[in-house]
Chain A
Amino acid sequence: MAGVELLSDQGFRIDGRRPHELRKIECRLGVFRQADGSAYIEQGNTKVLAAVYGPHEVRGGRGKALHDKVVVNCQYSMATFSTGERKRRPRGDRKSQEMTMHLQQTFDATILTTLYPRSQIDIFVEVLQADGGNYCASVNAATLALIDAGIPLKDYVCASSAGFVRDTALVDMNHLEESSGGTELIIATLPKSQQIVFLEMNSRLHEDNLSAVMDRAVAGCTDVYNVLDTAVRDHVGETAAAIGGDAA
């Protein structure tokens, strides 16, 4: 177990968390004025900005427009300074493209796409600092941004990861844990309906352990949801109070 002990005998992980504990989450909605919706999230040291534009008329060639639903266009990118080693990451690099695809699939499944035929929603995600769980933080940030933009969703989409170390499932892996070479399961769920929208696993895991790891990850998603929901209610509450008169 190359050097680092990911889980001590006393049940603590390297950073002092217990196996079922998430990293600290901080988030804000509406960070940009320009975008229709935007959000910023910190999950531990992973920091992500998301901006949503739309729905709007399809730009760049009408051919892309779909007659029965909205086009969800995602773009994932990582800042040059986001990792320990400074590295220029052209947007087209394979990792980002894959991530872009994954985000697109996730949100295609969650946005009520049929409500906006012939239009387009852009989701831009930028990782400012990467410390593990980039996909998860991106999904969570994008969810917040979509909510901020008032785009109808089936439910929140919350993502969380889980690994398996010393017969114990660890939720919300940080970079150190991810890079130790063990299994990592990434899951995105609709927490209220407990449905899974996205699931990815790298490296092998015995099927006996799968359910334990999945349960841990899903529980992580639910925890993430609680945090996000509080943030959304705070944010919406303020606005609603201000313009509540109009509503009444």
Chain B
Amino acid sequence: MEVDIRLPAPRGRLAAKEDDEITLVTPGDVITSDTGFMRGHGTVMEDDSLKSTVAGVVERVNKLISVRPLKARYTGEIGDVIVGRVIEVGSRRWKVDVHAKLDAVLMLSSVNLPGGELRRRSEEDERMMRKYLQEGDVISAEVQNVMSDGTLSLHTRSLKYGKLGQGVLVPVPPSLVKRRKTHFHTLPCGVKIILGNNGYIWLTPTVTESNTGGYEVDLSPVSRGDREEMARLRNCVLALAEQKMLLYDTSIMYAYEESLKFESKVLLKSEVASEIAELAQQRLEHEGYK
């Protein structure tokens, strides 16, 4: 058996781009003593001055000042695409783990049930809830509402959402997922990717296209080729995340392409991973992405 042992070495980080306009603050720092501003997330008003409570970047929208921590639990916004895992089946609702500070809620009333959109929900359906989604199922959904205590309520009232079948779930820091128009991509290599805003990324082979109603899952074996592609993609995503690079279709694709010269298991080595990330970054810069 081949064993690879390396001595501990400082992990290289990509050379930081010299950046402008970024104001870094740490907890307790005074952001401004001007009272004309509004207190946003990550700040606190104390002794007439606005202080930061987290370490991160100051963001200013008109009069609203907030500090975004660079790594934190997911805080939902309406319309976000998320990937989550059902952890509890309750009365007329599912509880879904979405890597937020509280579990999200998926109401029975917010799902499309088999048999048409306008079907009345009967008591029969309540009893059947576990049939539709049970503990451990992974779903994709959209944030419908954010309640006062921060709990997210989800809906899957669209055909793109619903139960997910076979695939790989890759958790990354939520802040690394770039907000884009669409978070569902079918990559050229034949893998479908869902970039959940909550930092859960779902990789799945594209073959299963017969998603009707979304509650039937095709459990037929996935070909080895597809599995390898998925593994490679997973490693690429992790490599980017490790280097704190934003994740979106292009960055992932570039990383994927750069990785092709390696065997996919080699990507687990940290130096290879950082090399790929670096190459991907160079390409992105070269092509004018920011």
A residues near B (Cβ < 8 Å) are 30, 36-37, 54-57, 112, 116-119, 147-156, 190-193, 229, 232-233, 236-248
CA distance A125 to B17 in the complex (A): 34
CA distance A236 to B22 in the complex (A): 11
* A149 x B71 contact (CB < 8 A): yes
* B44 x A150 contact (CB < 8 A): no
CA distance A154 to B42 in the complex (A): 10
CA distance A56 to B42 in the complex (A): 18
* A248 x B244 contact (CB < 8 A): no
CA distance A80 to B56 in the complex (A): 37
B213–chain A nearest beta-carbon distance, Å: 29
Number of CB contacts from chain A to chain B under 8 A: 127
Evaluate whether A147 and B55 lie within 8 angstroms (CB atoms) in the complex, with A56-B73, A56-B101, A117-B149 already known: yes
A181–chain B nearest beta-carbon distance, Å: 36
Q: Which of A37, A57, A112, A243 contacts B175 (CB 8 A)?
A: A243
Evaluate whether A240 and B26 lie within 8 angstroms (CB atoms) in the complex, with A56-B101, A118-B149, A150-B71 already known: no
* A247 x B28 contact (CB < 8 A): no
* A240 x B24 contact (CB < 8 A): yes
Does B34 have its Cβ within 8 Å of any Cβ on chain A? no
Does B53 have its Cβ within 8 Å of any Cβ on chain A? yes
Does B255 have its Cβ within 8 Å of any Cβ on chain A? no
* B28 x A239 contact (CB < 8 A): no
Q: Which residues of A contact B71 (CB under 8 A)?
A: 30, 36-37, 148-150, 239
Evaluate whether A232 and B101 lie within 8 angstroms (CB atoms) in the complex, with A112-B44, A150-B56, A246-B246 already known: no
Given A156-B28, A246-B178, A247-B59, 19 more contacts at CB 8 Å? A30-B71, A36-B72, A55-B73, A112-B53, A116-B101, A117-B149, A149-B71, A149-B73, A150-B69, A152-B44, A154-B44, A155-B51, A233-B24, A237-B16, A240-B24, A242-B14, A243-B245, A243-B246, A246-B175
Q: Could you give 13 example pairs across A and B, Cβ below 8 Å?
A: A118-B102, A147-B26, A150-B54, A150-B69, A152-B42, A191-B28, A192-B28, A238-B16, A240-B19, A241-B16, A241-B22, A242-B16, A245-B246
* A240 x B243 contact (CB < 8 A): no
Q: Which of B21, B26, B42, B179 contacts A156 (CB 8 A)?
A: B26
Evaluate whether A150 and B24 lie within 8 angstroms (CB atoms) in the complex, with A243-B246, A247-B57 already known: no
Q: Which of A118, A153, A243 contacts B28 (CB 8 A)?
A: A153
Evaluate whether A236 and B70 lie within 8 angstroms (CB atoms) in the complex, with A150-B54, A244-B22, A245-B290 already known: yes
Q: Which of A54, A153, A233, A242 contacts B245 (CB 8 A)?
A: A242
Q: Which residues of B contact A30 (CB under 8 A)?
A: 71
Does B142 have its Cβ within 8 Å of any Cβ on chain A? no
Evaluate whether A241 and B17 lie within 8 angstroms (CB atoms) in the complex, with A54-B101, A119-B102, A150-B69 already known: yes
B47-79 contact mask (Cβ, 8 Å, vs A): 1 or 0: 000010111110100000000111111000000
